[in-house]
Amino acid sequence: MSARGVLYVHSAPAALCPHVEWAVAGVVGVPVKLDWVAQPAAPGHHRAELNWQGKPGTAGAVASALNTWQRLRFEVTEEGSPGCDGVRYSYTPSLGMFTGLTGSAGEILVPEGRLRLAVEEAAAGGTDLATAIERLTGRAWDEELEPFRYAGDGAPVRWLHAVG
């Protein structure tokens, strides 16, 4: 079974760029060379994109490998495949990691149990329901990453087929 996805490194200090390639290569099992370009939204930083194909769960493994460097901004997506939901991992230094299930159009899907818990907590006065739903959908991560996404329009993209 095979899954597909995209790694978006929205911003990385120049010194970390080779380490990002090394970390991704360690996950996918083949050498990785990204086409780094300047990130206008963060002077002195670079950005890159990598389309990948590998076994289901690759996005989570890549996100875990990159999570160790806390000066990166990145997203890793994995399309749904037979028996596996789609997923998006978003990371920013100020917010940490967000993980959300995704639908076929890339929107975040919130599982019923998490919605029920948010409603129960709001009813008990523990949290504001609108705030809880914004957290469940990753709104803060989207807001922080949007300038970096926009700055990447037109950036070069590579394809990678993982082994195993």
pLDDT, tens digit, 9 for 90 and up, residues 130-145? 999 999 999 999 999 9
| Residue pLDDT, tens place only, 12-39 | 999 999 999 999 999 999 999 999 999 9
Which residue is it, tokens 């460097």? 69
Q: Give which of 49, 44, 43, 65 is closest to 10, Cα–Cα.
A: 49
Local confidence band at 64 (pLDDT 50, 70, 90 cut-offs): very high
Instruction: Return the CA Rg of the chain.
Output: 17
User: Cα–Cα distance between 102 and 162 in angstroms, integer?
Assistant: 22
| Residue pLDDT, tens place only, 83-105 | 888 999 999 999 999 999 998 88
- State the average pLDDT over residues 32-57: 93
Confidence (pLDDT) at 83: 82
- State the average pLDDT over residues 66-78: 94
Does residue 156 have a pLDDT over 80? no
pTM: 0.88
Confidence (pLDDT) at 105: 84
Q: What DSSP element (H or E) covers 61? A: helix 58-66
Residue 58, classed as helix, strand or coil, is: helix
In this structure, which amino acid lies at residue 115?
L
